[in-house]
């Protein structure tokens, strides 16, 4: 079923949310976007870390000199309105801001900036079994973009040309996902997920300066793991550290916390979801399933917000 889409300030029917083929974004990939989840918790529907996602959308837009003609508060309210009108208790939320009509040619400064929020139902990103059994991945032959080429901290549409090369190669070679190395050959992240590695009870992840998207789930996991008493270190991870890890997992809004059971056909640990990964997943599920939210990460969806 299709749901109404918030399009430049108001909800419109799904079929009406269209753009012209000569929009700048079609030719040059000039969009920034977010991926957010709304969970059906035991204490009602709640959007996970809404403020942080909308803030990152504004950050991405600023990097690309796009002025969003709304405030953070207005886009938060618009997100809640779009969810409420869909009637969905749980959904994936996709705000996207793009360069529309104006002049063609690379210079986007005179083109319209359009703002859209769509919602849909989205199950487990890396397959229904993934959260429990883990996924099989390889190291991608494509690298993550080098610093000062594409800004990695912006969640920009164009970045996902690189990501889709990684994803296509993974799938066509029989893997669920690819892990990208950065320009120096250190572990960066998956095509749509951050990566964590566990060895001898210590948790490691790439620093945000290493051309990764600074993930909000990554930040959530760092917080939860520290609260569970684990040491979490942001540091450069060489490729071979993946192979000898005790446990590995991906994090992301879509992927949530997904264990990795093999890399380049090396079995990781016991080849099953490991104990620390399970502990972290459980701490995460406590928030998003039970609605037990000591950090104030959930924003309630008003039941009658639809107009
Ligand atoms: N790295 C990349 C490259 C990335 O795309 C994502 C999210 C993350 C890390 C994790 O960030 P966060 O969601 O804030 O924890 N990828 C989004 C899009 C996936 C897609 O296929 O589209 C997502 O998970 O929503």
Q: Which domain holds residue 232?
A: 130-288
Q: Which of 159, 211, 213, 168 is nearest to 28 (CA)?
A: 159
Clarify whether residues 191 and 50 are in a common domain.
no
Q: Are residues 117 and 147 in the same domain?
A: no
Do 191 and 276 reside in the same domain of the chain?
Answer: yes
The verdict on 29 and 145 lying in the same domain is no
Q: For residue 120, with 0-12 CB atoms within 10 Å meaning exposed, 13-18 middle and 19 or more buried, which class applies?
A: middle
pLDDT at 142 over 70: yes
Task: Report the domain count for the chain.
Answer: 2
Catalytic entry in 10, 16, 155, 183: 155
User: Is the residue at 304 inside a domain?
Assistant: no
> Is 155 labeled as catalytic in the residue annotation?
yes
Domain final position from 92, 122, 152: 122
> What gap in Å lies between CA 2 and CA 16, rounded to an integer?
12
pLDDT of residue 305 exceeding 50:
no
Mutate which of 127, 213, 218 to test ligand 1's pocket (most atoms within 8 Å of Cβ)?
A: 213
Domain annotation covers residue 203:
yes
Exposed e or buried b for every residue in 34-72, given b needs 16+ CB within 10 A? bbbbbbebeeebbbbbbeebbbbbbebbeebebebebee
Between 19 and 303, residue with greater pLDDT: 19
pLDDT of residue 306 exceeding 50? no
Q: What is the CATH number of the domain that holds 168?
A: 3.20.10.10
DSSP state of 98: E
How much is the pTM?
0.96
Same-domain status, 28 and 97: yes
Task: Using the mean position of ligand 1's atoms as its centre, give its distance from the Cα of residue 36 in Å.
Answer: 9
- 228 and 279 housed in the same domain: yes
| 163-216 tens-digit pLDDT | 999 999 999 999 999 999 999 999 999 999 999 999 999 999 999 999 999 999
Rounded Cα distance between 248 and 277, Å, is 8
pLDDT of residue 307: 45
Kindly state whether residues 157 and 274 are assigned to the same domain.
yes
User: Do 183 and 211 touch, CB atoms closer than 8 A?
Assistant: yes
* Same-domain check for residues 274 and 135: yes
What digits encode the pLDDT tens for the residues 42-76? Answer: 999 999 999 999 999 999 999 999 999 999 999 99
Binding-site residues, ligand 1, Cβ < 6 A: 35, 163, 189, 192-194, 213, 215-218, 251-255
* Structural domain includes residue 302: no
Domain contains 297: no
């Amino acid at each position: 079923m299709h749901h109404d889409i918030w399009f430049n300030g108001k909800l419109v029917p799904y079929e009406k949310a269209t753009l012209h083929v000569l929009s700048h974004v079609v030719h040059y990939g000039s969009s920034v976007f977010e991926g957010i989840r709304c969970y059906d918790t035991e204490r009602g529907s709640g959007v996970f870390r809404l403020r942080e996602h909308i803030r990152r959308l504004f950050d991405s837009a600023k990097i690309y000199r796009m002025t969003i003609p709304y405030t953070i508060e207005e886009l938060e309210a618009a997100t809640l309105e779009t969810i409420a009108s869909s009637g969905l208790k749980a959904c994936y939320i996709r705000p996207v801001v793009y360069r529309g009509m104006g002049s063609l040619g690379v210079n986007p400064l005179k083109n319209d900036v359009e703002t859209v929020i769509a919602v849909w139902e989205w199950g487990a990103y890396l397959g229904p079994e993934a959260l429990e059994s883990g996924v099989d991945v390889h190291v991608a032959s494509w690298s993550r973009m080098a610093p000062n080429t594409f800004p990695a901290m912006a969640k920009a549409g164009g970045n996902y040309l690189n990501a889709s090369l990684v994803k296509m190669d993974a799938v066509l070679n029989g893997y669920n996902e690819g892990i990208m190395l950065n320009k120096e050959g250190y572990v960066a992240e998956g095509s749509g997920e951050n990566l964590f590695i566990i060895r001898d009870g210590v948790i490691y992840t790439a620093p945000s300066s290493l051309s990764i998207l600074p993930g909000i789930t990554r930040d959530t996991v760092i917080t939860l793991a520290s609260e569970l008493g684990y040491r979490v270190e942001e540091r450069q991870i060489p490729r071979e550290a993946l192979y000898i890890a005790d446990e590995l997992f991906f994090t992301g809004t879509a992927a949530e916390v997904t264990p990795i059971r093999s890399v380049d056909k090396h079995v990781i640990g016991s080849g099953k979801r490991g104990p620390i990964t399970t502990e972290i997943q459980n701490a995460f599920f406590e928030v998003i399933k039970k609605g037990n939210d000591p950090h104030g990460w959930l924003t309630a969806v008003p039941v009658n917000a639809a107009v």
